[in-house]
Structure 1
């Protein structure tokens, strides 16, 4: 949502143009104390990490409550468990960073967190082992906490937080002033499409009504009709080989009969006529 900063500049410029100097001062003061960071995800994560690194539990809880009231509380019910899981992951990251602090600050910050969060976390199974954290000398080697001390888990928490915030901010309803750029782009695209369709329609109408195009089509049709028509011989493809072979076979049979002294059929007919006589 980088366009938010541009809209802020437009509002400030308008206020100066109208001469609302006191309003401009109040506007600048509010921008400096803006907890939403112009809805920039990287700036919000940077602020959360600041509270975690300095072990400021009150600041972390207050900032998350602000995000919850502004954004997360307006989400659908089935998304709320994911938001709560992300909140608890940040609390665990807070404890991991506090446990890695040097000196006596480590146990002090961890114990302070558990004491303040006891009413909220007591009775939840996933937090039962965390109350033993102040009494473990090397929690990074303990099987219950070794995963949370890895760089991979810590990075996955930040990536999940980034994706959650980016998705939520993208789906938030935008005021009319912030959607001017997308509306202008939509109008420009529609105008280009209308111009392209109008040009295509005009081109087609010119081609249909043009006398040159009509004469060229008539000339092509006349040229096709004036040419000689091809003659087709229906018997050109008839095979001649079977007839020639049949004639040769008949001729050979007659020669064979002459050599044998006549046809046996004719001989039987002659003998039958003599016996009858």
Structure 2
């Protein structure tokens, strides 16, 4: 949904054109605090990573709650377990990041997380071992947590989050205004196809139509010494037969010139001499 930014600019331009200056100011203020980041997946993932890196649990939960209310809650029921799995993976990433950071403050963040999330997580088996995390000296070497401290697992969480958001944003219903670009591209493509078909049809018609034959006959008639009678009768004659007929016509005219006239004129002259 990269075109959302362009739509925002169009809306702002229209508001300025209409003179709605107060609305423009409110619109700009809303854009500055836009939690959806213009539906840019990379920016949303970047914001979540920021909350994880600074151990801002409240910010992480509020931001995820926002995404859940406007995006994830509208998904079909069979998709919800995948969404919850990614959410819990982000919480585990939060704990791992806090545990990896040096200093007692970070360890306090681990304890704070487990304390606040206890009502939500205590009944789930996958979280049972995590409540032991503050008391383990080297959790990265513990069989229960070693996987989560690997770079591969941490990257896989972010990649899964990115793919989920990209898929949801691509499939979610959009307002009519945001679909104008795709509609315009579709109309242009259809117009190009129509023009191409018209060009092919016109070329085919010129090859087979009487008008096309007449133009070729006109060219042939210009090369003859005199006008070619009954040109319209050749409209349906193939070009090969037409060339042969024209060669015969030239030969006949040359023979008539040598004989001093046409057979009809010769018979008229002989008749007049006999009468005299």
CA spacing shift, 1:225–1:160, aligned 2, 3 Å: farther
- For residues 258 and 215 of structure 1, the distance between their equivalents in structure 2, rounded to whole angstroms, comes to 28
Q: Does 1:133 align with 2:133?
A: yes
- For residues 166 and 108 of structure 1, the distance between their equivalents in structure 2, rounded to whole angstroms, comes to 34
- For residues 239 and 28 of structure 2, the distance between their equivalents in structure 1, rounded to whole angstroms, comes to 106
Kindly name which structure, 1 or 2, has the bigger radius of gyration based on alpha carbons: 1
Following TM superposition, by how much is the alpha carbon of 1:101 offset from its aligned partner in structure 2, in angstroms?
1.8
- For residues 152 and 169 of structure 2, the distance between their equivalents in structure 1, rounded to whole angstroms, comes to 26
CA spacing shift, 1:150–1:234, aligned 2, 3 Å: same
Counterpart of 1:252 in structure 2 is: 251
Q: Deviations over 1:169-212 (max 9, x none)?
A: 0111111111111111100111111111122222x563455458
Following TM superposition, by how much is the alpha carbon of 1:225 offset from its aligned partner in structure 2, in angstroms?
25
Task: Give the unaligned 5+ runs of structure 2.
Answer: none
Whether the 8 Å CA contact 2:110–2:134 is kept in 1: the answer is: yes
- For residues 16 and 263 of structure 2, the distance between their equivalents in structure 1, rounded to whole angstroms, comes to 133
Segments ≥4 residues shifted beyond 6 Å = 215-277
Q: Tell me the matched-pair count.
A: 276
- For residues 218 and 260 of structure 1, the distance between their equivalents in structure 2, rounded to whole angstroms, comes to 28
Calculate the aligned-residue CA RMSD, in Å.
17.8
- For residues 179 and 155 of structure 2, the distance between their equivalents in structure 1, rounded to whole angstroms, comes to 34
- Deviating more after overlay: 252-261 vs 10-19: 252-261
Q: Matched residue of 2:232: which SS?
A: coil
CA spacing shift, 1:131–1:240, aligned 2, 3 Å: closer
Following TM superposition, by how much is the alpha carbon of 1:218 offset from its aligned partner in structure 2, in angstroms?
13
Q: Deviations over 1:232-267 (max 9, x none)?
A: 999999999999999999999999999999999999
| TM-score normalised per structure 1 | 0.75
Following TM superposition, by how much is the alpha carbon of 1:107 offset from its aligned partner in structure 2, in angstroms?
2.3
Q: Deviations over 1:16-48 (max 9, x none)?
A: 111111101100110001000000011101110
Following TM superposition, by how much is the alpha carbon of 1:105 offset from its aligned partner in structure 2, in angstroms?
1.3
Q: Does 1:13 align with 2:7?
A: no
Whether the 8 Å CA contact 2:72–2:80 is kept in 1: the answer is: yes
- For residues 13 and 264 of structure 2, the distance between their equivalents in structure 1, rounded to whole angstroms, comes to 127
CA spacing shift, 1:224–1:264, aligned 2, 3 Å: closer
CA spacing shift, 1:92–1:218, aligned 2, 3 Å: same
- For residues 31 and 47 of structure 1, the distance between their equivalents in structure 2, rounded to whole angstroms, comes to 15
Whether the 8 Å CA contact 2:213–2:235 is kept in 1: the answer is: no
- Deviating more after overlay: 257-266 vs 167-176: 257-266
Whether the 8 Å CA contact 2:42–2:162 is kept in 1: the answer is: yes
Q: Matched residue of 1:233: which SS?
A: helix
CA spacing shift, 1:229–1:99, aligned 2, 3 Å: same
CA spacing shift, 1:144–1:229, aligned 2, 3 Å: farther
Q: Deviations over 1:104-129 (max 9, x none)?
A: 11321111000100000012110000
- For residues 16 and 263 of structure 1, the distance between their equivalents in structure 2, rounded to whole angstroms, comes to 88
Q: Deviations over 1:116-160 (max 9, x none)?
A: 000000121100000000000110110100000000100000111
- Deviating more after overlay: 115-124 vs 243-252: 243-252
Whether the 8 Å CA contact 2:221–2:227 is kept in 1: the answer is: no
